[in-house]
């Protein structure tokens, strides 16, 4: 595009000329003209990339998305309707839509990974649980469990024998999570004292 002579804007005429030229290129691309596609790519790829960067905030992802959008431009050029807007608006809208889809896809994958991580998470054994399972005699352990209140014993048994998380214990018992944590903490302290386990 030539620079307007000093003292004149020339912008509206230049924009109209460019819009007509780009629409012509899209028409040729729709007919399978590879040379026209190269010209169209040179003219519009920066618009696509800039739109993608604004949404994705990642130049590498934006570069990949730019290639995808330009391939889509090649495949769908015949659908372009000049009466519905300019070529630049068309490719920018396409880029924005794909970038938003990418953000949603990445977020959905993160959520799936987090859920899978929670499911696969194995809670580290507390020293009391290790002692109960491997070191102390069964009757002594049962005697110490008997020294807990009913609520403490239920919470500790659910967490350390049934393998429930604190949150699952709270849901199972229908009580607040802090209450369950307090019961388990107090119960474990009493077990430590009864079993003679160092803290």
Could you tell me which residues come within 8 angstroms of residue 15 by beta carbon, excluding any fewer than 6 positions away? none
Percent of the chain with pLDDT over 90: 37
Q: What is the pTM of this model?
A: 0.51
Where do runs of H (alpha helix) occur along the chain?
Answer: 11-30, 34-56, 59-76, 87-120, 127-134, 138-146, 150-160, 166-173, 177-195
**Residue in the structure block whose two tokens are 């004292």:** 193
Distance CA 89, CA 73 (A): 12
Task: Please tell me whether residues 36 and 115 are part of one structural domain.
Answer: yes
In a domain, 2, yes or no: no
Tell me the pLDDT tens digit for each residue of 57-101.
888 889 999 999 999 999 999 999 989 999 999 999 999 999 999
Structural domain tally of the chain? 2
Task: Please tell me whether residues 91 and 140 are part of one structural domain.
Answer: no
Tell me the pLDDT tens digit for each residue of 103-146.
888 787 777 777 666 666 555 555 555 555 555 466 676 777 78
How does the average pLDDT of the chain come out, rounded?
80
Task: Please tell me whether residues 106 and 191 are part of one structural domain.
Answer: no
Task: Please tell me whether residues 111 and 34 are part of one structural domain.
Answer: yes
């Amino acid at each position: 595009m030539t620079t307007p002579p000093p003292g004149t804007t020339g912008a509206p005429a230049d924009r109209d000329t460019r819009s007509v030229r780009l629409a012509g290129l899209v028409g040729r691309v729709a007919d399978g003209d590879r040379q026209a596609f190269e010209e169209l790519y040179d003219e519009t790829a920066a618009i696509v990339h800039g739109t993608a960067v604004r949404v994705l905030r990642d130049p590498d992802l934006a570069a990949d998305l730019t290639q995808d959008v330009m391939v889509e431009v090649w495949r769908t050029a015949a659908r372009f309707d000049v009466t519905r807007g300019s070529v630049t608006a068309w490719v920018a809208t396409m880029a924005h839509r794909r970038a938003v889809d990418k953000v949603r896809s990445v977020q959905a994958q993160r959520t799936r990974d987090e859920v899978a991580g929670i499911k696969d998470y194995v809670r580290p054994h507390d020293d009391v649980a290790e002692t109960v399972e491997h070191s102390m005699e069964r009757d002594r352990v049962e005697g110490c469990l008997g020294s807990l209140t009913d609520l403490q014993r239920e919470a500790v048994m659910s967490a350390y024998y049934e393998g429930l998380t604190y949150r699952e214990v709270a849901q199972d018992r229908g009580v607040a999570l802090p209450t369950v944590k307090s019961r388990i903490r107090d119960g474990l302290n009493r077990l430590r004292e009864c079993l003679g386990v160092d803290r």
